[in-house]
């Protein structure tokens, strides 16, 4: 049976997808989470995700799609021999880019969701992010949404609550949802696998920190008014 009030969240235990998990809990009666293991160096990531989902009272499922790290070995997130790009190269994506990752994730998520009678999918991609990964763009998401509908003759809706939000605005949303502290202290965004504020120097930490400082300043200003 189709469940109009249910959503499946692509969930990694990071800042963005955790914010999306609670966004989904606000907008849907029933929420489930799917987490992907794709050969990433930090196995801790999936454990963090499982814990947060459990605390949020959200059924959690882990899917292994590590085949993608065997197909392309040029990614620094899955290949220990490659040093991570600290900045975006002028003529290319940073080597933290996993080609096809979001397409694979969302496709598997859709197949899983359909089997549960769920047709709302939620993902934390944002095109306001600096890295500019092609599969985080709105055009791609819309295109894949059409493709999934055609592939399974269904009416999926892919929700992207963070699409136009920068990191500061993502912090703001987590605050509005009442989970600012949870996101700040429990999530794992760091490419070096350190929870909360992370290592402080990898690109993901820098981005997260910059957004947090910006938001804290904004919040302090609002409180003064």
Task: Point out which residues bind Zn ion (CB under 5 A).
Answer: 190, 192, 198-199, 202, 205
Specify the residue, 145 or 189, whose C-beta has the smaller distance to Zn ion: 189
Specify the residue, 175 or 197, whose C-beta has the smaller distance to Zn ion: 197
Specify the residue, 7 or 205, whose C-beta has the smaller distance to Zn ion: 205
Tabulate helix, strand, coil % of the chain (nearest 5).
45, 15, 40
- Minimum distance from CB of 171 to Zn ion (Å)? 17
Find the helix or strand (DSSP H, E) in which 8 lies: strand 3-10
Specify the residue, 144 or 202, whose C-beta has the smaller distance to Zn ion: 202
- Minimum distance from CB of 175 to Zn ion (Å)? 22
- Minimum distance from CB of 196 to Zn ion (Å)? 10
Specify the residue, 42 or 114, whose C-beta has the smaller distance to Zn ion: 42
Q: How far apart are CA 47 and CA 97, in angstroms?
A: 22
- Minimum distance from CB of 199 to Zn ion (Å)? 3
- Minimum distance from CB of 123 to Zn ion (Å)? 22
């Amino acid at each position: 049976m189709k469940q109009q009030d249910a959503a499946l969240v692509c969930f990694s235990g990071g800042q963005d997808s955790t914010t999306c998990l609670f966004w989904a809990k606000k907008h849907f009666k029933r929420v489930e989470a799917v987490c992907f293991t794709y050969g990433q160096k930090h196995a801790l990531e999936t454990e963090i995700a499982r814990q947060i989902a459990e605390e949020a009272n959200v059924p959690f499922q882990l899917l292994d799609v590590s085949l993608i790290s065997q197909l392309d070995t040029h990614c620094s997130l899955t290949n220990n021999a490659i040093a991570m790009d600290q900045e975006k190269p002028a003529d290319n994506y940073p080597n933290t880019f996993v080609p096809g990752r979001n397409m694979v994730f969302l496709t598997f998520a859709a197949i899983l969701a359909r089997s549960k009678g769920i047709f709302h999918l939620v993902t934390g991609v944002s095109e306001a992010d600096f890295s500019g990964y092609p599969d985080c763009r709105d055009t791609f998401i819309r295109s894949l949404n059409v493709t999934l509908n055609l592939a399974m003759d269904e009416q999926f809706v892919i929700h992207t609550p963070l699409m136009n939000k920068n990191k500061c605005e993502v912090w703001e949303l987590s605050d509005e949802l009442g989970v600012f502290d949870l996101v700040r202290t429990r999530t794992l965004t760091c490419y070096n696998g350190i929870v909360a504020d992370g290592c402080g120097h990898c690109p993901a930490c820098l981005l997260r920190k910059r957004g947090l400082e910006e938001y804290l300043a904004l919040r302090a200003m609002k409180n003064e008014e």
